[in-house]
Amino acid sequence: MMDRVRAAGGGPALTALRSFEATGTAAMTSVKVPRELKVSALFPQFYKQEESTPATMKGSPFHTTLGLEGDIGWLTGARLGGAGRSPNPDESRRAYTRAARQAMAGFLAGINAPWLVDTGRYTATDGGVIDAGPDRGALVLNIDGPDGRVGRLLIDPGTHLPRRLIEPPQAGGGGTAAVADIVFTYSDYQPQAGLQLPHTIVRENGRNRTVWSIKQYRVNPRLTPRLFSPTQR
């Protein structure tokens, strides 16, 4: 099934996608003004997601960055709850790394799901077909990674493009993320450089909803691992 997803997303062009930058806006249910969004990724496991208030907005600036540098996850501008606040540094570090990996998977599953498998750190197995509800007929790929089950990736049976990733509650997480599924939904696929790329990604967790509207992708920009260090802002 992952071979069909690869072919639908661009085939060789998707396999050759080993870095990207996506820019746009992030609209959250609890925030009146959309934030600016920038997501950067570099194969195999370098990821950075930044959200900030527009430079023209009055008041206190807001800027958070969630990153994954190989096997180290980090967050600036905010703090995780749950195990992320543990006095045990190893436990806290694992919580941040898991959160960063899940965030990376949430974006990558819609843009380039085979990327995860190509790292050798993730596996995809057939999970059958959804037989009821709004996703009836969707094909299921179970994605597992370094922290266990990443989620169920729902594939559109007509296009074979990713439709949704359903992540289970995050062990050791805080708030709603610890007790409810996190659902990423991908839509508005548009062609670019031989690829099919989603321009709307929605993340839902309980009553919390974030809509990421991607205005532009840079395909295979020249990025270096150093850019994904927490010291690089």
Tokens 């498998």 locate to: 117
Asked which of 74-78, 118-122, 194-198 is least confident by mean pLDDT, the reply is 74-78
Q: What pLDDT was estimated at residue 178?
A: 80
Name 48's bridge partners.
Answer: 40, 67
Q: What's the pLDDT tens digit per position in 133-186?
A: 999 999 999 999 999 999 999 999 999 999 999 999 887 777 788 888 999 999
Backbone angles phi, psi at 158, to 5 degrees: -90, -45
Q: Over 60: is that where the pLDDT of 233 sits? A: no
Residue 143 CA to residue 165 CA, distance in Å, equals 9
Q: What pLDDT was estimated at residue 84?
A: 85
Q: Over 60: is that where the pLDDT of 75 sits? A: yes
Evaluated on CA atoms 102, 107, 113, 119, the torsion sign reads negative
More confident site: 210 or 172: 210
Give burial (CB, 10 Å; 0-12/13-18/19+) of 113: buried
Residue 209 CA to residue 182 CA, distance in Å, equals 10
Evaluated on CA atoms 14, 51, 167, 171, the torsion sign reads positive
Residue 47 CA to residue 229 CA, distance in Å, equals 10
> What average pLDDT is seen over the chain?
93
Is residue 125 classed as helix, strand or coil in its secondary structure? strand
Measured from the Cβ of residue 41, the count of other Cβ atoms closer than 10 Å reads 25
Question: What predicted TM-score, i.e. pTM, was given to this entire model?
Answer: 0.93
Q: What pLDDT was estimated at residue 83?
A: 85
Q: What's the pLDDT tens digit per position in 12-39?
A: 999 999 999 999 999 988 777 889 999 9
Q: What pLDDT was estimated at residue 32?
A: 78
Q: What pLDDT was estimated at residue 90?
A: 85
Mean pLDDT for 77-99 is: 89
Is residue 36 within 8 Å of residue 213, measured between CB atoms?
A: no
Which uninterrupted H or E stretch holds 219? strand 208-219
Residue 133 CA to residue 114 CA, distance in Å, equals 27
Q: Which domains does the chain have, with CATH numbers?
A: 2-10+18-228 (2.50.20)
Q: What pLDDT was estimated at residue 57?
A: 66
Rounded to 5°, the CA angle 134-124-191 comes to 65
Residue 183 CA to residue 127 CA, distance in Å, equals 17
Mean pLDDT for 114-135 is: 96
DSSP 169: P
